[in-house]
Amino acid sequence: MTLRTLDTLGSLEGKRVIVRCDLNVPLRDGIITDDGRVRASLPTLNALINAGARVVVCSHLGRPDGAPDPQYSLEPVAQRLSELLGKPVAFARDTVGESAQEAVASLEDGGVVVIENLRFNAGETAKDDATRAAFAAELAALGDVLVSDGFGVVHRKQASVYELAKLLPSAAGLLIAAELDVLDRLTENPERPYAVVLGGSKVSDKLGVISHLLPRVDTILVGGGMLFTFLKAQGHAVASSLLEEDQLETVRGYLAEAAERGVKIVLPTDVVVAASFGADAAHEVAAADAIETTPFGASGIGLDIGPETAARFAEVIRASKTVFWNGPMGVFEFPAFAAGTKTVAQALTEVDGLSVVGGGDSAAAVRQLGFSDDQFGHISTGGGASLEFLEGKKLPGLEVLGWA
């Protein structure tokens, strides 16, 4: 089976097209701080507008507890979408109630409405299949067709992602199609040398990716909080740095398997160690095998890869033809501990081949550090979904669209 795409839906003129986007953007005091996901939705929305569809945009935002919560309203997103599309975008103040029904009924060909946060209804994420199906049926009453374009949620069996796609003629939007094309290139015959850069806080979040990609890659670079579990697995003291004791044997197994396969796992040779976790904490660079020799002793906390490591990582990245990066190298939110992440990001912009930023914190980091999306081959909109795809897992939101 192959993925159903927009061209399988026939003429959409005059049809009510529900578009399941992922508009889960960060907000601060009602202001969007990173509109990357909103901009990523534009190609599909513009294609539908130009086709004369009546576009009903739906999404989740944050984790409201199945009930309306003003801090998670999609109204700021609707306003930003209006600015980016250059046309009015109506906003319905509920998901499937009177406001949504009236707003959809008022749509003209080429018009757009955003309905309120799907997760204001407990049926969206309910564990009970029947509860999800009931909410999906209410959503289905708002449209004639579903275009699923929220890649960041395709790994979840949620009402608007899974059950709704069974109730209406459905297909993937341009964003999902583009994401799958890139992820396919990362797993099927990637151009070599192929390097994977893994960071973030926990090894346990990346176990499946490491396991699935070990037979496929040439080099794995390890940074972020997870590096300390690797160092500890090699017998090095890591002071008070983040550590997953229960993953030490697993990590040793990966190191051994990598050696057998001829895959290089490159670990930091130096680390930025701080007196405490804080933006203004005293800090200094220490050798990776001598973290506790800093003035902070056993209470020191590693918060970034060191400059020697960053330069080495950058060298490997620039020499590669395919690079996938998921997870920052340090606590990039604090300027004092952002250098490693920035060096890695800069190196990805210089890759002569395919460079992929794996969504989530990595995407947030490159934008916060001043990079633009077009400096990279691809910035994924789905951190968790990307990882699960690269783990070889079946994703329900794709399977229901014909992807096998």
Residues with catalytic annotation? 37, 202, 360, 384
> How far apart are alpha carbons 8 and 28 in whole angstroms?
40
Q: Note the Cα 245 to chain centre separation in Å.
A: 27
The annotation status of 127 as a binding-site residue, yes or no, is no
The annotation status of 36 as a binding-site residue, yes or no, is no
Judged on CB neighbours under 10 Å (0-12, 13-18, 19+), 210 is buried
DSSP-derived secondary structure for 216-240: T-SEEEE-STTHHHHHHHTT---TT
The annotation status of 119 as a binding-site residue, yes or no, is yes
The annotation status of 63 as a binding-site residue, yes or no, is yes
| 3-state SS assignment for residue 151 | helix
The upper half-sphere exposure of residue 302, i.e. CA atoms within 13 Å in the direction of its Cβ, equals 34
Neighbouring CB atoms inside 10 A of 262's CB total 7
The annotation status of 61 as a binding-site residue, yes or no, is yes
The annotation status of 156 as a binding-site residue, yes or no, is yes
> How far apart are alpha carbons 25 and 362 in whole angstroms?
14
> How far apart are alpha carbons 53 and 39 in whole angstroms?
19
The upper half-sphere exposure of residue 296, i.e. CA atoms within 13 Å in the direction of its Cβ, equals 22
The annotation status of 23 as a binding-site residue, yes or no, is yes
Nearest C-alpha neighbor of 48 from the set 95, 101, 139, 109: 109
> How far apart are alpha carbons 326 and 112 in whole angstroms?
34
The annotation status of 24 as a binding-site residue, yes or no, is yes
> How far apart are alpha carbons 272 and 291 in whole angstroms?
9
The annotation status of 60 as a binding-site residue, yes or no, is yes
The annotation status of 394 as a binding-site residue, yes or no, is no
The annotation status of 361 as a binding-site residue, yes or no, is yes
The annotation status of 28 as a binding-site residue, yes or no, is no
The annotation status of 362 as a binding-site residue, yes or no, is yes
Binding residues: 22-24, 37, 60-63, 119, 156, 206, 302, 333, 359-362
Where is the binding site for ATP, in residues?
206, 302, 333, 359-362
Q: Which residues are annotated as a binding site for substrate?
A: 22-24, 37, 60-63, 119, 156
